[in-house]
Amino acid sequence: MAREKIFVTREHIIPEAIKYLAEHHDVDVWDERSMPPRDVLLKKAAECAGMLTEITDIVDKELLEQTSTLRVVANRAVGMDNIDIAEATSHGVLVANTPGVLHESCADFTFGLMLSLARNIAYGDRQIRAGAWKVFDQIPYVGTDVYDATLGIIGMGLIGTAVARRATAFNMKIIYYSRTRKPELEESLGIEWRPDMDAIFKEADYVSLHMPLTVETEYMVSSRELGLMKPTSFLINTTRGRTVDPKALYEAVANKSIAGAALDVTDPEPIGLDDPLLTLPNVLISPHIASASSATIRKMGQMAAANIMAALEGNPMPSCVNPEAVERR
């Protein structure tokens, strides 16, 4: 097999995958922790056969129209909102993601956010570090039970299902809304389907978002949806920042329309230090790390590399999202 040029947009995240690719191809790596500038990404796309991207690397019509060499883009993520898949298909460029390897880690993290938010764990830690814990007094840190509460899940894919499995151990009542109803999960986990999202927002003590970012889901959770929630309920978001309107969320929490929110993703991302959400003690924010366990990051890198190798060799890819692109070459 001839050696091809491959561009990897980060060096420090997946060194094992890069080493594997370099054994077979000529790999060029962006060696900074920040994403490659747009001009660099365009230049590399124009001269490489494969690219291994992160979710902040935009692969759009402009990029695809400037390359005649690019044959495969492997995204080290499940979400694909940074890639114009239809445009890639029309240009004969195969696109891949990394499903099936990060859902357990993301579900662990979702529950970590939920417990920390409900029981004021992160808030208590901040207060101690700020010197505010002077006497034994639990009242400023009184939280909300997760056990026996109602969990509403929007999006019952692999991650949503893994979250539901964990919720059964907390004896939670689990309700869900998804594009596709899951009778087998209803039977095995005792979960209940709701025919519309409004019911989830109205009934749940904790609403956990697990849908992809699409045109339909962008800012799907805004003032109206938040207004349906109980003043004692919490929102958990580990999807993409743009699924929730940040201004509406700030208003809902600040005005005590809901009890709080835990976000692993923000809009914009990274969140600005002057963002009003950071002024709210009952908003917990983490830096988009739900999938960031060492084992999961390694597996994601390995799958992305395997997708590139298979595409360049003309073999079936582990997780191609547009196999019909081959016909457009």
Same domain, 138 and 240: yes
Q: Report the CATH number that the domain containing residue 304 is assigned in CATH.
A: 3.40.50.720
Same domain, 140 and 201: yes
Tens place of pLDDT for every residue, the chain, 329 residues? Answer: 689 999 999 989 999 999 999 999 999 999 999 999 999 999 999 999 999 999 999 999 999 999 999 999 999 999 999 999 999 999 999 999 999 999 999 999 999 999 999 999 999 999 999 999 999 999 999 999 999 999 999 999 999 999 999 999 999 999 999 999 999 999 999 999 999 999 999 999 999 999 999 999 999 999 999 999 999 999 999 999 999 999 999 999 999 999 999 999 999 999 999 999 999 999 999 999 999 999 999 999 999 999 999 999 999 999 999 999 998 77
Same domain, 75 and 175: no
Same domain, 129 and 258: yes
- 288 a catalytic residue: yes
> Which is the catalytic residue, given 269, 313, 327, 329?
269
Sheet architecture: strand order including 283-285: 192-193, 173-177, 150-154, 206-209, 234-237, 260-263, 283-285
**What is residue 139's DSSP assignment?**
G
Q: How far is CA 237 from CA 104, 213, 243, 256, 318, in A?
A: 16, 12, 8, 18, 28
- 269 a catalytic residue: yes
Same domain, 119 and 263: yes
Residues 6+ apart with CB under 8 A from 60: 83, 84, 87
pTM, to two decimals:
0.94
> Which is the catalytic residue, given 91, 103, 240, 242?
240
Domain count, the chain: 2
Residues 6+ apart with CB under 8 A from 106: 159, 162, 238, 290, 291
Report d(CA 31, CA 295) in Å as an integer: 22
Residues 6+ apart with CB under 8 A from 33: 10, 12
Per the structure, the complete domain to which residue 51 belongs is given by 5-101+294-328
- 91 a catalytic residue: no
Same domain, 75 and 107: no
Same domain, 147 and 246: yes
Same domain, 171 and 211: yes
